[in-house]
Amino acid sequence: MNLESPYLITEMTHEIFSCDDELALESGETLPGFQLAFTTQGHLTTQKDNVIWILHALTGDANAHEWWNGLVGEDKLFDPTKHFIVCANLLGSCYGSTQPLSENPKTGNPYFYNFPNLTTRDMALSLEKLRAHLGIAQIHTLIGGSLGGQVALEWAHILGHKVQHSVIIAANAKTSAWTIGFNEAQRMAIESDCTWGQNNPEAGKKGLETARAIAMLTYRHPDSLEQNQADQQEKTDHYKVSSYLRYQGLKLANRFNALSYWVLSKAMDSHDIGRGRGGVEQALSEISSKVLTIGVDRDQLFLPSESQLIGSKVPKGTYREISSPYGHDAFLIEYEQLNYILKSFYLENR
């Protein structure tokens, strides 16, 4: 990439990367081409050593400056006046990337339920094609949380020496039966919606509301719900937490679609850095970047011990922990702790 590249600008850009090449998937299926929606902020230095690549969580999007505004923005840790910040909407997600409601070029109709199963490795490989398209030879920091952390770990293995720092937050090396079980319960809720199975963009919408309510119970710790959603008055019905969960379900169903949710939750279940690589420990030992794993002490979805495992098995690993009553969602909330941990990591690894 040269300094005249259209990507070397200081303002945010929203763009679509269209790949006409077939993407071979771990399932044995192929995508006959795909697109990824992505944003960029800032510009490359002449040394091209300031790329920050951010990966979003399950229902996130490419606008990292909005959902991670405590870390991304002018005068923040990831500052577009100093860094070239890239964030792409993951394959399968419904914010501009190829997903079940996209047109299947083989039929001219939306994929709907014929959209292939994706894995976190498939997602990483699609991002690798975007990186090559952008001409980015070196990534200073690859960072993501939850599903984004899983994909980041897969991509770190693929990138090898092309990434300097990999930051994996509230994630794991292989999805546990505990997490798969919660995800399956959510998909069962979607299946129970009488519209599920219809070739309709709104199919499964009510089921998605229930799925999100289930998910919220895994994203937050009981202490957080007790502190913020417990009723102070004596009552026998119409509890505050009930209204909260219904509101969260409706809010997601109005901005997301059940088919993408299904595909992305399945991808989370598939995550196994060791698949086909001699097992988890062998695969982790092959990651060459400096790795910071961050756990959350009261995370009930991705346990702190899972983050600790990554940090202990990669050659250049560091583990740090966020203390928070918010549970899993702390990686989207506890900016002061995240900033301190990240700054300390960079100082230790100069």
In the residue annotation, 299 being an active-site residue is answered as yes
Residue type, 44: L
**51-55 and 139-145: which strand pairing?**
parallel
Question: How far is Cα of residue 260 from the mean position of the Cα atoms in its chain?
Answer: 13
Residue with the two structure tokens 């994630």: 171
In the residue annotation, 146 being an active-site residue is answered as yes
How many whole angstroms separate alpha carbon 119 and alpha carbon 36?
16
**84-88 and 51-55: which strand pairing?**
parallel
Q: Which residue in the list 122, 269, 299, 329 is annotated as catalytic?
A: 299
Q: Which residue in the list 93, 146, 288, 289 is annotated as catalytic?
A: 146
Residue with the two structure tokens 């079940």: 100
Question: Distances in Å between the alpha carbon of 150 and those of 83, 144, 145, 171, 335?
Answer: 23, 8, 8, 6, 20
Helical ranges in 135-257 per DSSP H? 147-159, 177-191, 205-219, 222-229, 240-253
Residue type, 30: T
Between CA 158 and CA 126, with CA 281 as vertex, the angle to 5 degrees is 20
Question: Distances in Å between the alpha carbon of 237 and those of 223, 225, 233?
Answer: 21, 17, 11
Q: Which residue in the list 43, 65, 221, 328 is annotated as catalytic?
A: 328
Name the nearest CA neighbour of 33 among 113, 119, 97.
97
Question: Distances in Å between the alpha carbon of 93 and those of 179, 200, 232, 240?
Answer: 20, 17, 39, 31
Contact 38, 15 (CB under 8 A): yes
The token duo for 89 is 């909407």
In the residue annotation, 83 being an active-site residue is answered as no
What residues are labeled active site? 146, 299, 328
